[in-house]
Chain A
Amino acid sequence: MQSESGISPKIIEEFLKFNRNIIDAPNHVPAPDEINLGITPHDVVYTEDNIRLLHYKPLTQKQAQIPLVITYAIINRYHILDIQPEKSWVRNLLQQGIDVYMLDWGTPSNLYKYLGFDDYVNGYLDNSLDFVRDEAGVEQVSLQGYCTGGTIATIYSSLHPEKIKNLVMTAPVIDGWRDTTVVSNLTKHIDVDKMVDTIGNVPPEFMYYCFSLLKPFEQGVDKYINFFRNIDNQKFVDSFLRIEKWVSDTPPIPGELFRQWVKDIYQENLLIQNKMYVGGRQVSLENITMPIFTQVAVGDHLVSPECSMPLHYSVASEDKTLRVYPSGHVGMIASSFSQKKILPELGKWLIERS
């Protein structure tokens, strides 16, 4: 039966139900501000300027001898690796008996706009790893880099290979010219010198704009329709809000670091060609000889697999593993799939080498 307007009553009913869900939403879900991210118990064991080194409390009696230090990306925050207990990357590794440390890069103010790769790699990361090596009483540690944190971890492993036992690369940004995402197109056309010289640190809003161009209708429309349709599903809603809160919490990026990142990685693509210089030293991927485990996701719309995979083929390591997962950039680290498939593989790989 059709209504006078020619629209089926079933459709009208569907719309009304959807509207009711929108109105009822506040009764079903907490406000994003009421949600705490980063829940696994930890101590802050080292601080320097804005950065903090977190050491997670063990969840097993026996732990692998070599600790794992995770360098998170310079965009967004480390919480995504510990977003909720049942999808926590960190918790899963702790449960497998791995001693986990994580670097929180903090929120740089204008005072830190001259920080570049040299400060992050040879300063903050090197000092943090020295602290961990000292505290754990080991010569070498395992290092994991996620997204742009992968770029930092790659550079570090090339310049300080003697301190790294195992290297884990999760969707690292390596070969900018092969990157097939929209981000790559934008970075090619930005006058990054003018931007950094004029505004200093890159504001979060600039990054939000870039994100909004990636899958604009799935992420900007469909996602929210699904949210209101599933408002009764507590698990879905909780997970959705946690991810939304994380996505909307990006610190500014230090201007100098952003300049080097855009120029050296995306515009001139120096890292993969072994032509990048950090702190006056050449970064050669051939210096990376330790065991390396590279993880990429086929559906990654932020860092395409083509951008990450060249690392696997360019390092000099004999013990190297490449895994391509049917997942996305976030799904690879914070999903049921990562808990069931990705993390058990990684844990096994790390323990065998620790």
Chain B
Amino acid sequence: MASEVNYNKAFEHYKHLSLFWTDLIYLMASKPQSLTATGPMRKFATNAKKVTTELIESNQDLIEFNTRLAEYYKQLSDTWIESQKQVSKKMPDIPQDAEQLDSYKRVWIDIFENYFTQLFDSKKFGENYGKLVSSELELSKHWNDMVNTLLESADLPSKKEIDEIYKELQQLRRRVSKLEKEPVKKVVENTNAE
């Protein structure tokens, strides 16, 4: 508990320190940099704070991801130990020929299959897995945001802008498809009416 408090304090201090210097350097340097207003570095300097913030926040999500990953492997490892105990209880002797080896393998697979399927079907596994994926997605979001900043610096469309185009294209395609079907529908309706 105490170590967590210390960690949070250190984290906040580090965050404040980074943002303080990023902001201050930006304020001090932005006017002379205006000379290079058309180049990529000017835009990048403007957005540097965003990148720093994303980096800091992604560290927090990385901690959550590692916690979930550790829990994931703990669940697997606990289940493995339990399964192996069960196998040893059921088949205490070392197999002596191919037949015995086959039946040992059968029992081993059956028991491991049962225990692991129970684990994968359990609420605790599902919840941890869901949070693990979620923290991974948070990391992806930060990564996307940082890349978007770089893209904007190079006057290239961001992922969000490309997504909007994809969406627009999709809507247009649907409208065209409906319009194409419309005359056929009308012909069928007219034929039926006659």
Chain A residues close to B by CB (< 8 Å): 6-8, 10-11, 14, 110-115, 118-119, 123, 127, 182, 185-186, 188-191, 194-195, 198-200, 213, 215-218, 221-222, 225
- Is B116's CB within 8 Å of the partner chain A? yes
Q: Mark interface residues in B13-57 (1 if CB within 8 Å of A CB, else 0).
A: 000000000000000000000000000000000000000000000
A190: which B residues are within 8 A, CB to CB? 130, 133
Does B97 reach chain A (CB closer than 8 Å)? yes
Specify which chain B residues have a CB less than 8 angstroms from the CB of A194 in the assembled complex.
134, 137
Q: Tell me whether B141 and A198 are in contact (CB under 8 A).
A: yes
Q: Are A114 and B109 neighbours in the complex by a CB distance under 8 Å?
A: no
B170 contacts A217, CB within 8 Å?
no
Q: In whole angstroms, what is the CA distance A32 to B62 when docked?
A: 38
Min C-beta distance of B51 to chain A, whole Å: 19
Stretch at the interface among B1-9, B121-129, B147-155: B121-129
Of the A-B pairs whose beta carbons lie under 8 Å apart in the complex, a sample of 7, sorted by A's number, is A6-B94, A114-B166, A127-B177, A186-B129, A198-B144, A215-B113, A221-B109
In the bound complex, what is the Cα–Cα distance between A85 and B70 (angstroms)? Answer: 47
**Distance in angstroms between the alpha carbons of A104 and B87 in the assembled complex:** 45
B174 close to A (CB within 8 Å): yes
4 pairs of A and B residues whose beta carbons are closest in the complex: A189-B130, A189-B126, A114-B170, A182-B120
Asked whether B95 is an interface residue with its Cβ less than 8 Å from the other chain, the reply is yes
A188 touches B126 (CB 8 A): yes
Select which of B97, B112, B166, B177 is within 8 A of A8 by beta carbon. B97
Beta-carbon contact of A10 and B96 below 8 Å:
yes
Q: CB distance A217 to B126 under 8 Å?
A: no
* Closest Cβ neighbor of B171 among chain A residues: A114
What is the interface size of chain B, counting residues whose CB is below 8 A from a CB of the partner? 35
- Complex CA gap A218/B134 in Å reads 29
* Sample of 8 further A-B pairs with CB below 8 A, known A189-B126, A217-B109: A10-B96, A119-B170, A185-B121, A186-B130, A191-B137, A195-B137, A198-B137, A221-B109
Interface centre among A111, A198, A200 (most CB of B within 10 A): A198
Q: Are A199 and B166 in contact (CB under 8 A)?
A: no
Chain A positions within 8 Å of B177 at CB level: 123, 127
In the complex, the chain A residue whose C-beta lies closest to that of B109 is: A217
B98 touches A217 (CB 8 A): no
Give the complex CA separation of A268 and B140 in angstroms: 27
Given the complex, which residues of B lie within 8 Å of A200, measured CB to CB? 163
Among A119, A123, A218, A225, point to the contact of B113 (Cβ < 8 A): A218
Chain A residues near B169 (CB-CB < 8 A): 111
Alpha-carbon distance A242/B95, docked complex (angstroms): 34
* B192 is an interface residue with CB less than 8 A from chain A: no
- Once bound together, how far apart are the Cα atoms of A114 and B101, in whole Å? 52
- Alpha-carbon separation in the docked complex, A213 to B116 (Å): 8
How long is the Cα–Cα vector from A186 to B98 in the complex, in angstroms?
Answer: 39
Taken together as a complex, chains A and B put the C-alpha atoms of A225 and B137 apart, in Å, by 36
- The complex places the Cα of A131 from the Cα of B134 at a distance, in Å, of 43
Residues of A within 8 Å of B191, CB to CB, are: none
Within B38-95, which residues are at the interface with A (CB < 8 Å)? 94-95
Q: Which A residues are in CB contact (< 8 Å) with B95? A: 8, 11
Could you tell me if B130 and A217 are in contact, using CB atoms closer than 8 angstroms? no
